[in-house]
Amino acid sequence: MTPTQQTDASTAGSDRHGRRPLHERDPDLVDDTGDAGNAAETGTTVVGVTTEDAAVLAADQRASVGGGRFVTNKDTRKVEQIHPTAAAALSGTVGHLQQFVRVLRSESRLYADRRGDPPSLTALSTLAGSILRSSPLAVSPLLGGVDDEQGPAVFTLDGGGGVLVDDYAAGGSGMQLAYGVLEQDYEPGLSPVDARRIAARAVESASERDTASGNGVTVATVTREGVDTAEYDAAGEVA
């Protein structure tokens, strides 16, 4: 890093490149040089389902090491609000996904303060993709949100920065098991309650067989009014 870049991070006057996102000005925020060898991973099953007016995200609550060999935490929060009308369901290394959430949340807020309105889903998902593309963060999130341009939508993101939009999606180590439920039960025009139940059932089904998933379900419902998050011990409790 050149001396110019170092001052660039802390001063306005030397910002010769305009109003860039935080992570471009200050790559340390998303740069990871540490050894992730024994870091806790979520393993995880994450699911996203859209309805006419909402995007529903769900995830299990287990963190583990050794690919689910040992459970290190039984109450891990893997669905986080990152925007007034968007949330992320996260799988990957715990530390990486926590940093990803902090950076994306701040970028979203900075965008809103600068421009008056929060980013659209297109802008938010593109930004999230470019953060992942430009950093070694081992995170594969699903984004779910609602905006005026495209209504409710779910995006799958990968470590290479790929961004793909879909009506429903799953991710994490329990992905195949969750997709089994989604392919059976998803249909367009679900009610929000049905969408929450299907998403939770997909997570629960994966938790039965994937040792890196389990210990309950977090379900977030994103509408134009905001993000509503609830936690359940079992899919049957979902309302």
Partner 1 sequence: MQGSSDQQAYDRGTTIFSPDGRLYQVEYAREAVGQGAPVVGVRGEDSVVLAAHAPERSPLAADGDTEKVSAVDDHVAVAGAGHAADTRQLVDLARRRAQRERVRYGERAPVDELATVVADHLQEYTQTGGARPYGTALLVAGHDDDPGLVEIDPSGATRSWRADAVGRGASDAVETFEAGYGPALGADDALALAVDGLSAAVDEVTVGAIDATLVTADGTQRVGEDRLRAAGAGAS
Q: Which residues of the chain form contacts with partner 1 (CB under 8 A)? A: 10-13, 19, 22, 25-26, 29, 99, 102-103, 105-107, 109-110, 113-114, 116
Q: Considering beta carbons, is residue 192 or 226 the nearer one to partner 1?
A: 226
Nearest distance, CB of residue 110 and partner 1, angstroms: 5
Tokens of 81: 């609000």
Contact 105, 2 (CB under 8 A): no
End-to-end CA distance of the chain: 52
Cβ neighbours around 138 below 10 Å, total: 18
Contact 61, 215 (CB under 8 A): yes
The H or E element that residue 128 is part of is helix 121-133
Candidate list 7, 11, 44, 126, residue with the active-site label: 44
Q: Considering beta carbons, is residue 21 or 43 the nearer one to partner 1?
A: 21
145: β partners: 86, 153
Nearest distance, CB of residue 29 and partner 1, angstroms: 6
Q: Which amino acid is at 239?
A: A
Nearest distance, CB of residue 95 and partner 1, angstroms: 13
Q: Considering beta carbons, is residue 56 or 124 the nearer one to partner 1?
A: 124
Q: Considering beta carbons, is residue 29 or 199 the nearer one to partner 1?
A: 29
Q: What number of residues does the chain have?
A: 239
Whether 33 is catalytic is: no
Residue 157 half-sphere exposure, CB side, CA atoms within 13 Å?
29
Contact 189, 51 (CB under 8 A): yes
Nearest distance, CB of residue 118 and partner 1, angstroms: 12
Could you give the residue numbers annotated as active site? Answer: 44
